[in-house]
Chains A and B, each alone.
Chain A
Amino acid sequence: MTFDWLTAYLFDQTVWVIMAGTGLLGLTAGAFGAFALLRNQGMLGDAIAHAALPGTVIAFLITHSKSAVCLCGGGVLSALLGICLVECIAGSGFLKRDVAIGVILSVFFGIGLVLLTIVQKYPMQGQALLHRLLFGNAAMMTIDDVWVIAVVALILLSVLLLFWKDFLIVLFDAAYARTLGYAVFKVNGLLMIAIIAIVAIGLQTTGGVLMSTLLLAPAAAARQWTHNFLPFIVLSSLFGASCAMVGSLASTLIDHLPTGPAIVLVVGVLLVCSLVVGKYGVYA
């Protein structure tokens, strides 16, 4: 009898849709998260998630459409502007990078809140929009959403396959890369755009808190198991994908367990285990 119940879930298309969608997000976020970790920018995912809000709301105001692509585009532009401003502020030398991130993150979010109250004057729900951005509604993921995620993930992973050695050298030793003739600014820019894109696309479906975790935590866990570069990237992606799928599955099996937080918890357990028993963890 229990098998009937289990097979009912396993053959339910929605379950597979959600697992595919979150799995792809986890895979790509894990891969790029490895690079984000190597840049030592801890709050990057969080900053992107908060900075994307005003752009998303503006896109909604202009187009009156809640399509994922459209809102995501607005979010990407807004987050890109935010990250550029962070670089400007930190680059001035008078304020440290974490202060710059804090300023942009909170001010952009505040601007987003102001814009949202304008949206609420329309007969469409602004509150629901914000709620979706913060927590996502992965449980409502449709096959269309998954196609969008799949296309974006494919593009971004191709970028990774083509440019991984360039990202590597620019992250490791930017000055040396410049002497080799690398346009360090362009390579860094490409990496940042890729990271922003994956966080922005994930915002729509799984929310900001989850994306910032998926960006960093699988990579942090993978770091405890290997010192080699390519295995690190691969392991980080696999961790991201598997945690996302396990979390989604758990969320469908257990009542009142929202998808985003479930995935976060699974990643958390993995991270703690890795820190404790990992090959290069605390008890190594």
Chain B
Amino acid sequence: MLTVANLNVAYHGIVVVQDVSLTVSAGTLVAIVGPNGAGKTTLLKALVGLVPRVSGVVTLFGKPFSAHHNLVAYVPQRSGIDWHFPITVFELVLMGCYGRLGFLRRPSEHEHERARNALAAVDLLACADDHIGSLSGGQQQRALVARALMQDAQLYLMDEPLAGVDVMAQKTIMNLLQQLRAHGKAVIVVHHQVEQVHHYFDQALLFNRTCVAYGPPATVLEPSMLQITYCK
């Protein structure tokens, strides 16, 4: 589904993502694992086009990425959001459909229904009319995931969706991701806890500025490989 070839990203002359080439098929859960500052967030942002690339060809279903806005959902880190903004949880989730609607059209009852379903899927329906500032860390993360669900995308890119999230919320989110996989979607997740990757994910990408290893967790998450990744 997703093909990346020769992706390079530099920031002020310093290469932060180097020569990344990989393929992700439909119905796969991929975890990107690596130390802080390794460029994992930059990699995700480069895939969705939020940062400029020095080189690289990224295709989704064989076509250039930019032609497929509707098929990709991006879940950023919680810290980048202004949680004091005057909107409710429901309004936050509803934003996920704005891309499909385009200018001038407003969300209909159908979209409202879908938003309620998305909130129910992440177990936040009770908080739908609350201000987003009143949410806990785990609830905030679940709200962002619900927003991505609204997009009904084929490919989901999530930046540290389980960071600072309580165990119950983690389970909810991971169950959700597994349901997405069952529906034939591909999900790429930047994940910080190496131990959980075996349990939940099909593929693991060890990343520290470049791909150290990519494959099933059992083969990739070997001590020697981890050493190379984390001790560069």
Contact = CB atoms under 8 A, between A and B. Distances in A.
A229 B147 CA distance: 17
A96 interface: no
Contacts, number: 71
Interface in A211-240: 223, 226-229, 232
Given A178-B49, A179-B69, A181-B69, A166 B103 contact: yes
A223 B95 contact: no
B104 interface: yes
Nearest to B98: A169
B86 A169 contact: no
A223 B86 contact: yes
A172 B133 contact: no
Interface in B1-55: 45, 48-50
A165 interface: yes
A182 interface: yes
Given A228-B86, A228-B88, A175 B80 contact: yes
For the complex, would chain B's binding face be called helix, strand, loop or mixed by DSSP majority? mixed
Given A178-B50, A223-B86, A228-B88, A169 B95 contact: yes
Contacts of A228: 86-88, 91, 131
A178 to B, nearest CB: 6
A176 B81 CA distance: 10
Contact of B99 (A163, A182, A223, A229): A182
Contact of A166 (B45, B49, B98, B151): B98
A165 B74 CA distance: 19
B109 interface: no
A179 B82 contact: no
Contacts of A226: 86
For the complex, would chain A's binding face be called helix, strand, loop or mixed by DSSP majority? helix
Interface string B126-165: 0000010100000000000001000100000000000000
A227 B86 contact: yes
Interface in B62-121: 69-70, 72-74, 76, 80-82, 85-88, 91-92, 95, 98-99, 103-104, 106-107
A223 B133 CA distance: 14
Interface residues of B, number: 30
Contact of A179 (B72, B80, B91, B104): B72
Given A38-B85, A179-B69, A229 B49 contact: no
Contacts of A177: 98
A173 interface: yes
A175 B50 contact: yes
Nearest to B45: A175
A27 to B, nearest CB: 19
A176 B44 CA distance: 12
Contacts of A169: 95, 98
B51 to A, nearest CB: 10
Interface string B177-209: 000000000000000000000000000000000
Nearest to B94: A165
A176 B74 contact: yes
Contact of A180 (B80, B86, B99, B104): B99
Contacts of A173: 76, 80-81, 95
B74 A232 contact: no
Contacts of B80: 173, 175
A226 B85 CA distance: 11
A162 interface: yes
A179 B48 contact: yes
Contacts of B86: 38, 223, 226-229, 232
Contacts of A223: 86
A172 B98 contact: no
B99 A172 contact: no
Contacts of B82: 172
B104 A162 contact: yes
A262 B212 CA distance: 68
A176 B87 contact: no
Interface of A: 38, 162-163, 165-166, 168-169, 171-173, 175-182, 223, 226-229, 232
